[in-house]
A = this chain, B = another copy of it.
Amino acid sequence: MLKKFSPEKLEDILETGIEIFADKGLHGAGMASIAQQAGVSVGVLYKYYANKEDFFRACLHHSLNSLESLLQEVTSREDKLLNYSRQLIRALQSFSARHPSHIRMYHQITASSGEPARQLAAEIEGLSSRLYTRLIADGSSSGALRRDIDPALFAFFFDNLLMMLQFSYCCDYYKARMELYCGGMPEDSLVEEQLLRFLESAFTFDRSLVPHGD
């Protein structure tokens, strides 16, 4: 009856927590149902986590870690923005298929408010925001990307598109919305191609270089 605790079990617990929190939110999820679905007793949860919120945060960071390692992998091979936009899109598609609840969990935190929201944003978005901004600034000054842009805002738009793509693959509401737009779930390859086309144009077209203008 007593099961030895193990790192694998912890993984199970966190994954179960992510699954349920991602669906029902911090308040909607119940500790008992998480414990049951994870195959442990509630006591175990409270042995490792002080309370529900603490456990929620642990689940949050667990899912963020997996997201972060995804990003790390893609961005480790330093490259130009457009060169690895494709890698990024594919990675997100693959990750969304494998770990939809991690993305949904990430979506949950975007609903948080107050100072915690501020801190989470700094913690989570700091890396990519700096990376994207720098890549765009570099590309812009090297001539690979257009010059008439605010690198920060364009990085922001860029990440916005990627975030929404992830949500659209994982969250029920966004999924339904994408199907509404496309008349069914579009092929990964079509999305990849079109989004790249959208991004490339947005980043490389420079009206000031076009002869006549408006």
Chain A interface (Cβ < 8 Å from any Cβ of B): 23-28, 104, 107-114, 117-118, 120-122, 125-126, 129, 133, 146, 148-150, 152-157, 159-161, 163-165, 167-168, 171-178, 180-183, 186, 190-191, 194-195, 197-207
Contacts and interface: CB of A to CB of B under 8 A. Distances in A.
A133 to B, nearest CB: 7
A173 B117 contact: yes
Given A160-B161, A161-B157, A149 B194 contact: yes
Given A113-B23, A172-B114, A152 B167 contact: no
* Number of identical protomers: 4
Given A173-B120, A194-B154, A180 B109 contact: no
Contacts of A108: 111
Contacts of A120: 173, 176
Contacts of A152: 181-183, 186
A146 B165 CA distance: 22
Contact of A129 (B174, B181, B200): B181
Nearest to A172: B117
